[in-house]
Structure 1
C-alpha cells in the first residue's frame, strides 16, 4: 500500500487531531502506522513509558476494529466522482503552515473546490464567532470579510451558522476567496440551512475536511477542527463570542501557534461579546475595521491602517482672517462691525468685506444693531 492510500485509510479510522496517531505517523510513516494498527504492535520508540504504551495498545485495538469496516479505495472512488481530492503532507497543494501543529497535524485533507489551498492560504485571515450571532455581529463579519477579500485576503471560517456563514458570504459577494473547514465530509451539507452556500463555495472557492466523504459531524470534531482554521491563517479575528463560545477554541489555538489574535469589541452589556472583551483584556488586538486587521497580519511598516480622520466642519475651510471675524461675533445677540473689528484685530474695511462673505455662506445675518450668527452657524459650533 502506498502512502496516499495509507493516509486515506487513517483519516477513516482515527479521529482528527488524535495526538497518538500523529506520533505514530511521525515515528513509522503512514504505511508503518497502518501496519502497527493491523498487528496492534507499536514501534519500539513509542514504548518507553508503560502507561503510554497501555494507552497506545488500547487505541491500536480500537483502530484495528474500525479498519475491518474501512474501504479507502471506495472513499477515493466516491471522492473522484464528486470532484473531491485528497491532499497529503509534502504535496504541492499542502499548506506548510499546518506543519506547525506537529503531532496534531491532519493526516491528510479532503478538499472540494477549484482553488489551490496552499496558494489561497498564503494571505488569509480566519473570521470566526458565535452561531447565535446578533445583527451587529452578522453585519461586522460580512463587512470585514468582503473588504478583506477585496484587498486580496482569503477568509477562512468553519461554515457554521451565524458569524461563519456571514464571513463566507461577505467574501463571495465580492468574488473573493474563502475557505470553509468542516467537521464532517465535504459532501455532507451541515448545517443543512447552509446547503446553498456550500454549493456556491464548491463552485467558486474551497471546502476542506479531515474526514472522508460521507462522514457526519460530532461535537468533538467541531472542537478539533478549530486548530486547522487557526493554523491555515496568518491571524484570527473573533467577531462575536459568548463566554463559552467554540470560537474561543480557535482563539486558543491561534495563541499556541503564535498567530495574530484579534477581537472585535461589542456593546458592554451584550452577552454575545463577553468572550471578545475577555480576549481583549488578556492579549488580543482590538480591531474595528479591515484596515486594522490587515495592519496586524500584513507586512510590517507597509500595511499600516490610516489614522482616523476628524470630521471636516464648514468653518474649517475658512481662511484665518475670515475665521477670526466669525469667532468675534458673540453666540447671543447682535454686535456692530466696529466691535467685531476690535475683537478680531482686523481693520473695519476688511471686517465689512468678510461679513459679506460670511453672510453669503450662511454663517451670519443682519439684525437690528449689527450682525448676529444664524441658527445654522450656531448648530455647527
Structure 2
C-alpha cells in the first residue's frame, strides 16, 4: 500500500502487467513523429497499452526488464526525457495545452514551462523534492488548467502572471521572465520548511496546513498581494472549439485514461493530415489537436472516433475515472475498467458532466485522490461504495458486485426522471 511513489522513464515501476514507465512531454506537446515512434516502441517492447495521466503524462505498460532500455532509447531520441534520473524524477511541470496557439491566453505558458524545466535541470539542490511535487503553468484562455493538483501554480494575474501555492488562495505577482526563479524560490522554501518539521510533509498543501501560506511566501522572499479565487478542474470540452484566426482545436476524450498504442498512431496521422503536426496532453485524460480549420472539424471527429476516442460530450464515460485495476495493478482486487465500462453502458450516468464516479481497485485511490460524488473502492473482488468521499473514506455500502453498484447508482438523484 505504498503511496508517494511516481515512476519515470529512468525509474520504472513493477506492476501486475510488467514494468511501467512514464513519459513527460515538455509543454504538454508531442510531435506526431514522436507519438508514432512511441506507439511502435510500446507495441514492440511493452504490451501496447498507454495511460494518459492526470499530470499530462503518457504512461506505457507491460515491459519486461529487457524492454525498458530500448524503449527509453526511443524516448531520448525524440527529446522527451532528460538523461539524468534525478532531473527526470523532479521534472513535473504541467502546462496549458494550447500554449501560444491560444490568442486569448494571458501569458506564454509553454515558454514558461520550458524555462522551469531548464531551471530544474540546473538546480541539484531541488533533486530532494518528493517525486509527486509538481508545478503548473496556466495561461488561461480557451482551455485553462484550473486545479491540477500541483504544488506551485502560475496563473493569470492582474499584471500578467501570479503565483500561488497549493492549499491557499494567497497570490503574489510575478513577471513572466521571473517564473523559473520564483518556482525555484518556492521549491527551496518547501524543502527548508518541511525538513524543520518532525514529520516532514511531502506536498505543499500539507506544509501550508502546518505553517501557513504566508510563511512559505515569506521564506521564498515573496510578498502576497491578495487572494485569488481557486478554480476547480474544468469539465472536459470534448469536440471542436474555435480559436481566433479561422482555426481551432479538437479535444478527444480517452475513456478511463487508457488507449491502445495503435490509437496513438492514428491520432498522429490526423495531426499531420489536418493540423500542426502535434498532439497536446491535458490533465483531464484527453488529447488535443490544434490548428484545425472549422470546415475540417467533422472529418477530424470521424477520425478520432475511428481511433476509439470519445467525441461526444454527453458520453457517460466522461463522468468517470477508473484506475488500471486487475491484472495491471498488484494492489487492485477488481477489474475496474471493465466494470466501469459496464456501468457506463447501463445508462445510470447518462447526461452527467464532471467527475461523478471514481472506480478504484483499492483504497489508495491513485487515479483520483480527492472526493467524488460516488467512489467505488475495490476490496476482495467486490466494491465498497463511498458517497461524497475518497477511496479511503468510510463506506456507505460494502461488498457489492457490479450489478449491485448499478442498483445503488440507479437510486441517485441524477438517475430519476426529470
TM over 0.5: no
Q: Which has the higher helix share?
A: 1
Normalised by the length of structure 1, the TM-score is 0.27
Q: From the CA coordinates, give the structure whose radius of gyration is larger.
A: 1
TM-score, normalised to structure 2, is 0.25
Question: By percentage of residues, which structure has more strand?
Answer: 2
Q: 1 or 2 for the larger relative contact order (CA 8 Å, sep ≥6)?
A: 2
